[in-house]
Structure 1
Amino acid sequence: MIAFEATRAWAEAQDAADPLRDFRADFHIPQHEGRDTLYFCGNSLGLQPKGVRAAIEAELADWSGLAVEAHFRGRSPWMHYHEYVRDAMADVVGAQPHEVVAMNSLGVNLHLMLVSFYRPTAARPAILMEAGAFPTDRYALESQVRFHGFDPSTDLIELEADGTGGTLSMAAIERAIAEHGHRIALIVLPGVQYRTGQVFDLARIVRLGHARGCVVGFDLAHAVGNLPLALHDSGADFAVWCTYKYLNAGPGAVAGCFVHDRHAHADVPRFAGWWGHDKHTRFKMGPHFVPTPGADGWQISNPPILALAPLRASLDVFRRAGMPRLVEKSRRLTTYLDWLIRSRLDDTLDIVTPNDPAQRGAQLSVRVRAGRDAGRALFEYLEGRGVIGDWREPDVIRLSPTPLYNRYSDCLGAVEVIEAWRSQA
């Protein structure tokens, strides 16, 4: 355990000794009054990698110079462009390359997965999810239950938080599966709960669900690029995620999708599209859909080149940094921020996120003890002084020290700004 110190000299010494310190220079840091912001919002929108501009301009150059021929003769031929991010993304999520694909957006991918993996019957119509899920998930799951002719009031089982700060215990998940497993068709839970920052044990949830005959999938929007994931080994049937948070692929970036290898050749219902057809016969233009084995078989449209280029640039940074080193730094940074808040702001803030590093990633969710109005006032004060986090209703401020570009001195700086607000509040 590191012996932390709440001094500028100690924090700057840690930054100087950080083996990942040079990766900060790979990103554009927003400015505030001529200085770098203290940016703690990588859990909402990651910073822009400096390689993105060149990646996009390369495709623009091929478009202008080659037009349609860039599909075959470009520097990175467009015909196979989505495959250029496959291996690196598989490494980030702990999957086999053919189990992942970059396509669409998270909400669209979730619906596509539900088409194939939510197959309700009169005896087994239910979906198990968390109460207070991110709206994308709640809307998608409820609409799918209705689409199949079932009633969300009885067939959408929502697990209420039972832990400190609104967290959900593994015991509660286990009890719900034991009680309702016989009528649950599908379990969909997050890798990280967006409001509290709580991490869920994917492999254990899969084992519990599969033992009762349930299909199990995950929304990993706040987990990918943040946590050590082993999707293939977890046994999850499917997972979806966005790439604009920790993966830094830009606002509204192309999302990702995982389909486990055991479904690679499965004859399951799906919304078929031309680009999901077997690539060896795709251009024969036949009338009968033959899916490409693996996650590629769920593609509908051809890949958006200009949207994939930033993801490719960001994944190159991840490849050079390596997830094990990023996770190690993330745990140290987040633990330091946690220690600073508990030791210097314990009378002001409550930390919602679990204290156990195994149950959190690069996010601390805090509440101001004086209440929601004071919380909003603090959030606005932070913004006005170049400390960028985000606000989630009803009363949570999220601060995420992201290991690719955040520093120990950033954590100390944020706490010093909060102390200044407390002294004048």
Structure 2
Amino acid sequence: MLSYKLGLEYAKELDQNDVLATYRERFYIPKNKRGEELIYMTGNSLGLQPKVTKTYIDKELSDWAILGVEGHTQGETPWLPYHEFLAENMAMVVGAKPIEVVVMNTLTANLHLMMVSFYRPTKSRYKILIESDAFPSDKYAVESQLRHHGFDEKDGVVLWKPRHGETLLRYEDLETIMASQGNEIALIMIGGVNYYTGQYFDLKRITELGHKYGCTVGFDCAHGAGNVNLDLHDSGADFAVWCTYKYLNSGPGSLAGCFVHERHAYNKELNRFTGWWSHNKQTRFNMRDDFDQLPGAEGWQLSNPPILSMAAIKASLDMFGEVGMLALTEKSKQLTGYFEFLLQQLGDHTINIITPKNPEERGCQLSIQVKNADKTLHEKLNEAGVLSDWREPDVMRCAPVPLYNSFQDVYLLVEKLKVILNDK
């Protein structure tokens, strides 16, 4: 564990020694009305725009203008196979093989498509296990799947809860649930990194436990992709889904990612919804052939994708390909370690960091609980030039993202927080 020091000069020294420091210059940093850069700590909600993104999108707009329909097959990045240009870097980001990943649709749409294939309930095994404070969209999705199959969502959802007075989940409690209800659970679907606490789960441990009881296992990695080393292939998970507009910096509402483990790649017996983009590429445009499913994650596609959104994703993924997840996660641990140190040095007993203290069990987010605080604390930070994220009843989520946040950002955030707390 690194030892840290107090003072602005030390923060500047950390930035000078940061091998990723120059990447900050490759992003647009939001500014206040006076033209001063804001301290942006909400990359866990919406990542900042890489300056090169416009160039990537403009290129496709130019090809559209010049080539028209021929852009599908001509040009440097023809549109017909465009999703293939994203596969290698996306696989690197989530720890998978290219055949296991595809960029398509949006997050919850992909989750539903995965549950069509991997949630196959019976009268005796139909329950779905999720964490008790799962992201609402996940909860709504699994409840609707239960209703779709004719089950009561109140009976069908099994919640993995923290113990009384605690915020983090314990694996021993999950094991207890599985020992008592494992034979009734058809699917375990957990957020890989919990959006509220920032707890990063052991995906392999959960998968092995679920498979031991005959369950399929999937993960929503919206807060994990581009943030932590997910190692999806080695985890053994059946599937995973994630968005690309948080840590992957692809723009608001952009396309999502999907992982299907290699062992399912050639299984044509798996039930699924299909469309012409999951059909054999060689015969797709014959139009009248019987459906011939593509192998791998590509076989879950439905329609030809929106190229302009994919261009924005490619712009970001190319940068991830340069940097690599190892360098990103190393800086992430340094940033959050420094952040944690500074908060502790405040000596304010109203502050409680609910994110795990172990760097291996969190990404770049720290969730800060402030006793007796309300949203006015968050609003005062915003007025002071800090963009953070408030979650009721009393938690601020702050994510110093290693691609564009600096150690000086972290230092100034804590200094501004200290002033606000002292003025209470």
SS of 1:5's partner is: coil
Equivalents in 2 of 1:88, 1:229: separation in Å? 14
1:197 is aligned to 198
| Per-residue deviation, residues 29-48 of structure 1 (Å, max 9, x unmatched) | 01123221111111110000
Unaligned runs of 5+ in 1: none
| Per-residue deviation, residues 395-414 of structure 1 (Å, max 9, x unmatched) | 21100011001111111100
Match of 1:365 among 348, 367, 370: 367
Equivalents in 2 of 1:245, 1:239: separation in Å? 16
| 1:2 CA displacement | 2.4
Q: Is the 8 A contact 1:40 1:388 kept in 2?
A: yes
Q: Is the 8 A contact 1:375 1:397 kept in 2?
A: no
1:22 is aligned to 22
Q: Is the 8 A contact 2:135 2:191 kept in 1?
A: no
Q: Is the 8 A contact 1:348 1:422 kept in 2?
A: no
2:380 is aligned to 381
1:423 is aligned to 422
Letter in 1 for 2:243: C
Letter in 2 for 1:118: Y
Unaligned runs of 5+ in 2: none
Mean CA deviation greater in 396-405 or 165-174: 165-174
For 1:20-59, list aligned pairs within 5 A: 20-32=20-32, 33-59=34-60
Letter in 2 for 1:409: Q
For 1:201-350, list aligned pairs within 5 A: 201-266=202-267, 267-286=269-288, 288-350=290-352
Identity, % of aligned positions: 51
Letter in 1 for 2:100: E
**Please, what TM-score do these two structures have when normalized by structure 1?**
0.97
| Per-residue deviation, residues 85-114 of structure 1 (Å, max 9, x unmatched) | 110000001101010000000000000000
Mean CA deviation greater in 321-330 or 281-290: 281-290
Equivalents in 1 of 2:166, 2:209: separation in Å? 25
| 1:165 CA displacement | 4.5
SS of 2:374's partner is: helix
Equivalents in 1 of 2:318, 2:348: separation in Å? 40
Count matched residues: 422
| 1:345 CA displacement | 4.7
Letter in 2 for 1:236: A
SS of 1:216's partner is: strand
Equivalents in 1 of 2:405, 2:14: separation in Å? 12
| 1:332 CA displacement | 0.7
Q: Is the 8 A contact 2:108 2:137 kept in 1?
A: yes
SS of 1:158's partner is: strand
| Per-residue deviation, residues 308-363 of structure 1 (Å, max 9, x unmatched) | 11100001111111110100000010011011111215323111111111111100
Letter in 2 for 1:15: D
SS of 1:79's partner is: coil
Change (3 A) 1:345 1:96: same
1:401 is aligned to 400
Letter in 1 for 2:274: A
Change (3 A) 1:163 1:220: farther
2:389 is aligned to 390
RMSD value over aligned CA atoms? 1.1
| 1:3 CA displacement | 2.3
Equivalents in 1 of 2:92, 2:164: separation in Å? 33
| Per-residue deviation, residues 10-41 of structure 1 (Å, max 9, x unmatched) | 00001001011111111000112322111111
Runs of 4+ in 1 over 3 A off after TM superposition: none
Equivalents in 1 of 2:288, 2:132: separation in Å? 45
Letter in 2 for 1:230: D
Equivalents in 2 of 1:47, 1:175: separation in Å? 41
Equivalents in 2 of 1:55, 1:21: separation in Å? 23
Letter in 1 for 2:4: F
Q: Is the 8 A contact 2:283 2:289 kept in 1?
A: no
1:117 is aligned to 118
Q: Is the 8 A contact 1:123 1:183 kept in 2?
A: yes
SS of 2:11's partner is: helix
| 1:423 CA displacement | 2.0
Equivalents in 1 of 2:374, 2:95: separation in Å? 38
| Per-residue deviation, residues 151-205 of structure 1 (Å, max 9, x unmatched) | 1122111122227652111111111112111111110001111001011000000
Mean CA deviation greater in 310-319 or 30-39: 30-39
SS of 2:154's partner is: helix
Q: Is the 8 A contact 2:331 2:402 kept in 1?
A: yes
Letter in 2 for 1:147: H
Equivalents in 1 of 2:15, 2:68: separation in Å? 46
Q: Is the 8 A contact 1:367 1:375 kept in 2?
A: no
Equivalents in 2 of 1:256, 1:346: separation in Å? 41
Q: Is the 8 A contact 1:43 1:363 kept in 2?
A: yes
Letter in 2 for 1:270: R
SS of 2:241's partner is: strand
Equivalents in 1 of 2:66, 2:401: separation in Å? 39
2:180 is aligned to 179
2:2 is aligned to 2
| 1:375 CA displacement | 3.1
Equivalents in 2 of 1:380, 1:68: separation in Å? 49
| 1:288 CA displacement | 2.6
Q: Is the 8 A contact 1:39 1:406 kept in 2?
A: yes
Equivalents in 2 of 1:275, 1:147: separation in Å? 26
Equivalents in 2 of 1:287, 1:141: separation in Å? 35
Q: Write 1 or 2 for the structure with the bigger share of helix.
A: 1
| Per-residue deviation, residues 223-262 of structure 1 (Å, max 9, x unmatched) | 0000012111110000000000000011001100000011
Equivalents in 2 of 1:165, 1:325: separation in Å? 32
SS of 1:115's partner is: helix
Mean CA deviation greater in 164-173 or 131-140: 164-173
**Please, what TM-score do these two structures have when normalized by structure 2?**
0.98
